[in-house]
Structure 1
């Protein structure tokens, strides 16, 4: 019986130590979340508005002005950019992004995958760890995994510019970005977006939409060559910031739940320990009484 009590005591001590770790991780994630949330809240409205403006402009182009980033062509080679975290312990955060990526490839680019024309670029280590064991017919690009640790605009825009150059030269006919869209600490959405070519505004069937008459200064072509790459780089940067905020929110929520589970487990263990201890005391008292009665006889 004493051996059983010792095991329960050791387990209680282990759960207390684990609970202290989860509490500390929750506090660290909460501090990081505030910083990441401020960053995405400031960038997202600006980036979303610029994206709508870009789609609108490309949908209303006329004359000889054009940009390769808005030109759709037959999709033969595809690049899928997967943005995940470098660390785990954040619930199903990374798994959901990977599932969204798998669904995108299988449903939208199944033919290209069968032809061996799908490439995947990873920002963050967890995405690569997931897919390297599951996809044997896809080309992996792992040169930019560490960009996730330092998501400054200069670092992220360098990756975006390289992908834009590859699209312009015809190396890829479509570029998709899969990331996690942040709403709040408890709610994030795995999202797949077509980054290139820039999707044009959708017009409902049977609805006539007046064509916007833009006045370009300087000339239309020069403005497109400057404006479009800048907006695309900002959009790419927003995806990375969204994912970072989602990671910290998911980890904070997961560690909070783990702390609550540890508390419930502690209560159950303490009740079990008290029962075992009471049983041991009762048994010892019974043995003492029996021994005393035997001596009297």
Structure 2
């Protein structure tokens, strides 16, 4: 059984930890408001960009002169999984959920006989794959010094990925990140970003609704838009991840604060019981000594 002094020190230690977790919760809550606003503001633009690119792509028959980001390499043997995660922990299962989604996608592709490679945006997604697929990691974009993601950061990551695609390192790229739903819910999402996915059935259904003439032609427009679309989708993933991270951290620190409070209560009860028992023992010894005299 722990001594009274040890219990008192333990209570003081837990109280100090509780102050830290409470402060971290408040900081995460303050940062969450801005991060959530940025993520929500970026969604319409990224969604509309994806729709415009898909619409243009549906009007183009892939051929030798088509942009490679649209036509692809002509095969799908090697797949790159871009894992966008956070750079810090203490956020519950936020980073773990992203890596699990990426691992599921990797297992699915390997079951189909595909070769899987990994590229990381953020460092917390790397350790699992460093252990399981040490030879399959082809690159990482360091975001540890980035406090608030900017489009220029996403452009740099997108350029690195596109350059690897142009050099023939992979045939298809998938982006895995966490979509922010609420403080309590962040949903891991997997999107194919290279080559652009086109639903030909939807394109035929929409062909009769509008006749649009492009100047210059669709191929030229797509050559300019496709790299930007990849950068925008990565930028959206970075914004969604930032909001999801702060939401998860706020929830985790709130739970930690409440758990610390429960522990303090239990330790205080134990401390008071032992203190009362010690006082009772001393009284019994004093009374017994007085009677002996």
Both proteins in one fold, TM over 0.5: yes
Provide runs of 4+ in structure 1 moved above 3 Å: 62-66, 109-113
2:121 is matched with 123
Deviations 1:192-249 (A, max 9, x none): 1111111112648xx9724253221333332222222222211111111111111111
1:99 is matched with 100
1:145 aligns with 2:142: yes
Give yes or no for contact 2:58–2:200 (8 Å, CA) kept in 1.
no
User: 3-state DSSP class of the match of 1:223?
Assistant: helix
2:76 is matched with 75
Give yes or no for contact 2:60–2:219 (8 Å, CA) kept in 1.
no
Q: Tell me the distance in 1 between the aligned counterparts of 2:168 and 2:249.
A: 39
Deviations 1:235-292 (A, max 9, x none): 1111111111111111111000100111111111111111111111111111111111
Q: Tell me the distance in 1 between the aligned counterparts of 2:201 and 2:18.
A: 54
Deviations 1:153-176 (A, max 9, x none): 112202102322332443320011
Give yes or no for contact 1:147–1:156 (8 Å, CA) kept in 2.
no
User: 3-state DSSP class of the match of 1:88?
Assistant: coil
Q: 1:43 to 1:87 in 2, by over 3 A?
A: same
1:17 is matched with 16
1:220 maps to which of 218, 221, 228: 218
Q: What's the TM-score once normalised by structure 1's chain length?
A: 0.89
Give yes or no for contact 1:180–1:190 (8 Å, CA) kept in 2.
yes
Is the deviation greater in 92-101 or in 128-137?
128-137
2:274 is matched with 276
Give yes or no for contact 2:180–2:186 (8 Å, CA) kept in 1.
yes
1:5 is matched with 4
1:209 is matched with 205
2:87 is matched with 86
- Cα shift at 1:136: 3.5
How much is the aligned-residue C-alpha RMSD, in angstroms? 2.3
Q: 1:237 to 1:148 in 2, by over 3 A?
A: farther
Q: Which runs of 5 or more residues in structure 2 are unaligned?
A: none
User: 3-state DSSP class of the match of 1:133?
Assistant: helix
Q: What's the TM-score once normalised by structure 2's chain length?
A: 0.90
Q: Which runs of 5 or more residues in structure 1 are unaligned?
A: none
- Cα shift at 1:34: 1.6
